[in-house]
């Protein structure tokens, strides 16, 4: 039979409330001798408090929800960037004895439902359009500490942490320009409601202008972040734009597919076309050729997201502005000077 707090109270000769306070960390009014006696009995009897009981005592569920967009039956694990972020967030929260609940969200209404019904201490939004976060109101969020990762939302209810997307694009395109490229294409999702992609596009345009390269809208392509879409775009680019000698993409998965599509169409990388990705996902160093890319500080981003949430839960003042982490260029094998003409 499982040991109860009542059993421990009887053996220690103290009240049930005293045992409950000691087990749940509320020990200020309990003498050191009594605390030691209770904790010795707890250890000897093998008592383990249930998570639900601890949550009720502390008025905290110790649950943090990670909400990620999901399309129908699509798996959330197909995006290596998402997989890495999930793992790092879970590690940071586990260190603090919090639990991560992952949920795919197909419709904006499901964000509100999750925040209202899960008894969460906090929630992290990853990969949502800025407009979706803009529309969340205090009634939807309630007392949940909300952190939006990779967001440029104007909603003051969400704490924000992201990387320097504009600066990352500058690094990527300057590298291509320094190698001698002039016909540099851009490939990424549409960015009317997504600040991350918009900032990367604006960084691309800025470097072209600074380098005296005329912007050509025909070299900008809307491509979803998937290996299949990247491969299809690579084949299309090889057939329709033989003048392009370099491509800057907004995600490694897209870039890896693009390399495959170009190769299938008879264009070598980097011999004929150079490709630069974004994220420095683990897979970038294990494909052939190894991908030149922009590295985000994913461990730092995860740690900062958790820090912001814990500060909010502790009642600290909200930061005056969003947190932006630095990025760096990782040179590998997919970028080289353009072919001689």
| pLDDT tens per residue, range 294-321 | 999 999 999 999 999 999 888 888 887 8
Q: Do 281 and 183 lie in a common domain?
A: yes
The answer to whether residue 331 is domain-embedded is no
Across 38-52, 97-111, 188-202, least confident range: 38-52
Residue 72, pLDDT above cutoff 70: no
The answer to whether residue 52 is domain-embedded is yes
Distance CA 148, CA 72 (A): 22
Q: Do 41 and 146 lie in a common domain?
A: no
Q: Do 53 and 70 lie in a common domain?
A: no
Task: Quote the mean pLDDT of the chain.
Answer: 89
Q: Do 275 and 191 lie in a common domain?
A: yes
Single pTM value for the model? 0.80
Domain interval for residue 221: 165-296
Q: Reduced to 3 states, what is the DSSP secondary structure of residue 187? A: strand
Residue 49, pLDDT above cutoff 70: no
pLDDT of residue 1: 61
The answer to whether residue 101 is domain-embedded is yes
Residue 42, pLDDT above cutoff 70: yes
The answer to whether residue 252 is domain-embedded is yes
The answer to whether residue 333 is domain-embedded is no
Does residue 180 contact residue 337 with C-beta atoms inside 8 Å? yes
pLDDT exceeding 90 applies to what percent of the chain? 57
Residue 56, pLDDT above cutoff 50: no
Residue 36, pLDDT above cutoff 80: yes
pLDDT of residue 287: 96
The answer to whether residue 103 is domain-embedded is yes
> Beta-strand (E) ranges in the chain?
63-69, 99-105, 122-126, 145-149, 159-163, 184-188, 220-222, 246-249, 274-279, 292-296, 323-325, 327-330
Residue 335, pLDDT above cutoff 80: yes
Q: Do 138 and 256 lie in a common domain?
A: no
The answer to whether residue 147 is domain-embedded is yes
pLDDT of residue 32: 81
Q: Do 171 and 159 lie in a common domain?
A: no
DSSP letters, 38-85, are HHHHHHHHT----HHHHHHHHT---EEEEEEE--TT--GGG-HHHHHH
Query: Count H helices, E strands: the chain?
Result: 13, 12
The answer to whether residue 85 is domain-embedded is yes
Does residue 250 contact residue 293 with C-beta atoms inside 8 Å? no
Q: Do 228 and 303 lie in a common domain?
A: no
Q: Do 172 and 273 lie in a common domain?
A: yes
Domain tally for the chain? 3
CATH of the domain at 52: 1.10.260.40
| pLDDT tens digits, one per residue of 251-296 | 999 999 999 999 999 999 999 999 999 999 999 999 999 999 999 9
Does residue 218 contact residue 280 with C-beta atoms inside 8 Å? no
CATH of the domain at 226: 3.40.50.2300
Q: Do 170 and 274 lie in a common domain?
A: yes
Does residue 160 contact residue 153 with C-beta atoms inside 8 Å? yes
Q: How many CB atoms lie within 10 A of CB 137?
A: 10
Across 39-48, 115-124, 317-326, least confident range: 39-48
| pLDDT tens digits, one per residue of 215-237 | 999 999 999 999 999 999 999 99
Average pLDDT over residues 37-55: 72
């Amino acid at each position: 039979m499982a040991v109860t707090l009542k059993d421990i109270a009887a053996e220690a000769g103290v009240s049930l409330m005293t045992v409950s306070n000691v087990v749940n960390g509320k020990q200020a009014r309990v003498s050191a001798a009594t605390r030691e006696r209770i904790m010795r009995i707890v250890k000897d009897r093998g008592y383990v408090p249930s998570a639900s009981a601890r949550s009720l005592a502390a008025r905290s569920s110790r649950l943090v929800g990670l909400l990620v967009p999901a399309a129908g039956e699509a798996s959330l694990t197909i995006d290596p960037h998402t997989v890495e972020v999930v793992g790092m967030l879970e590690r940071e929260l586990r260190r603090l004895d919090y639990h991560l609940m992952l949920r795919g969200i197909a419709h904006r209404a499901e964000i509100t439902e999750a925040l209202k019904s899960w008894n969460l201490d906090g929630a992290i939004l990853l990969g949502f359009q800025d407009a979706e976060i803009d529309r969340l109101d205090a009634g939807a969020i309630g007392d949940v500490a909300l952190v939006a990762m990779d967001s440029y939302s104007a909603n003051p209810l969400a704490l924000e942490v992201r990387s320097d997307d504009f600066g990352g694009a500058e690094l990527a395109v300057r590298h291509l320009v320094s190698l001698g490229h002039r016909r540099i294409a851009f490939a990424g999702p549409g960015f009317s409601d997504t600040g991350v992609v918009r900032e990367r596009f604006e960084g691309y345009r800025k470097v072209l202008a600074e380098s005296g390269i005329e912007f050509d809208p025909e070299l900008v392509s809307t491509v979803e972040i998937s290996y299949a879409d990247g491969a299809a775009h690579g084949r299309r680019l090889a057939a329709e734009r033989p003048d392009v000698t370099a491509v800057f993409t907004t995600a490694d998965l897209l870039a890896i597919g693009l390399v495959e599509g170009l190769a299938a169409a008879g264009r070598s990388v980097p011999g004929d076309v150079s490709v630069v990705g974004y994220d420095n996902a683990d897979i970038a160093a294990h494909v052939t050729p190894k991908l030149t890319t922009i590295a985000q500080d994913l461990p730092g981003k995860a740690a900062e997201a958790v820090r912001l949430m814990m500060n909010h839960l502790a009642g600290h003042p909200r930061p005056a502005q969003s947190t932006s982490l630095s990025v760096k260029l990782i040179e590998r094998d997919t970028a080289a000077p353009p072919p001689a003409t």
